[in-house]
Structure 1
Amino acid sequence: MKYTTILLKTSALLWIVWGLVHVLAGVMTMKGVLTQDISAAIIGIADAVNPESLKMDYPKAAGAVIGQHGFNLLWIGLVTFISAFFIWKGNKPAIFLAAICGGLADLGYFLFLDLGSYVHFVPGTIMTLISSAAILLSFYAHLKTKATYRS
């Protein structure tokens, strides 16, 4: 039982880090859009692309899409951050809520930005590894807990 508690607490700490990084990323992305510097927001996301090729006058609609992306980063970060405190206490629905929100957000990042080679390894890919580790640790702890109760 103590082993599963350690796994859940480790997962919770990983989600806290992941959540805070994504809240910050969301704020920074929205800041770029709200200050009418859409290029800065895009350059901040696609950091492996030559910044000069991304500096242009983007249509306001493109800024709105990037702004929505920033807002999504913000709320997903908040949900996983808050879920982490419940995961710490072993709350099963919080394990799944964080995995769905954070895991699917990072799956999209991996598919479109990592595989597209638009980003450097740090920090985004590390966040994908952190969320994957948090999901695996918490799911394993959940399964171990269920197995303990069955026997």
Structure 2
Amino acid sequence: MKRLPILFKISALLWVIWGLVHLLAGGMTMKGVLTNDISASIRGIADAVNPESLTMDYPEAAGAVIGQHGFNLLWIGLLTFISAFFIWKGNKQAIFLAAICGGFADLGYFLFLDLGGFVNFVPGTIMTLISSAAILLSFYGHFKRQTS
């Protein structure tokens, strides 16, 4: 029972890393759209694809969709970053909030980008592993605490 708080602390640190990376990724994705360089945003996401095949004039609607994606990365990163400080203390609501938002965001990434073969292992797949570890550690700590 005395070791449970360390699970929350490790999980919180993982969510801090994950949140900061997604804040940065969201900002970079939106920057490309806001500066009319939609290609840069798409190349930044689909890094395993030949960059020349992604460089083109995209319709404004595609830029809006990519901009929305960047915004979602930004707020999900911020939410998990803030949740991490509450997870550190074992807060049940923060554990589930980070798991739902960060976990489902990474599930979509895994299903459509990783399995699709559009991305390299670093950094996106590592972020999926980080969020998975954070979820497992905090859930284990939470449910183990509940049964004790």
TM value normalised by structure 1: 0.97
Q: Which residue of 2 aligns with 1:107?
A: 107
Identity %: 82
- Secondary structure (helix, strand or coil) at the match of 1:104 reads helix
The TM-score, its normalising length taken from structure 2, stands at 0.99
Where in structure 2 are the equivalents of 1:1-151 lying within 5 Å?
1-148=1-148
Equivalent-residue separation in structure 2 for 1:90 and 1:110 (angstroms): 27
> Secondary structure of 1:2's match?
coil
Instruction: Give the superposition deviation at 1:2.
Output: 2.3
Give me the CA root mean square deviation: 0.4
Q: How far off is 1:103 after superposition?
A: 0.1
Give me the whole-angstrom Cα distance separating, in 2, the residues matched to 1:75 and 1:4: 29
Question: Which amino acid in the other structure matches residue 85 of structure 2?
Answer: F
Distance 2:95 2:52 in 1: 42
Q: In structure 2, how many angstroms separate the alpha carbons of the residues matched to 1:3 and 1:104?
A: 28
Q: How many residues are aligned here?
A: 148
Stretches of structure 2 lacking an aligned partner (at least 5 in a row): none
| Distance in 1 of aligned mates of 2:58 and 2:49 | 16
Runs of 5+ consecutive residues of structure 1 not aligned to the other structure: none
SS of 1:117's partner is: coil
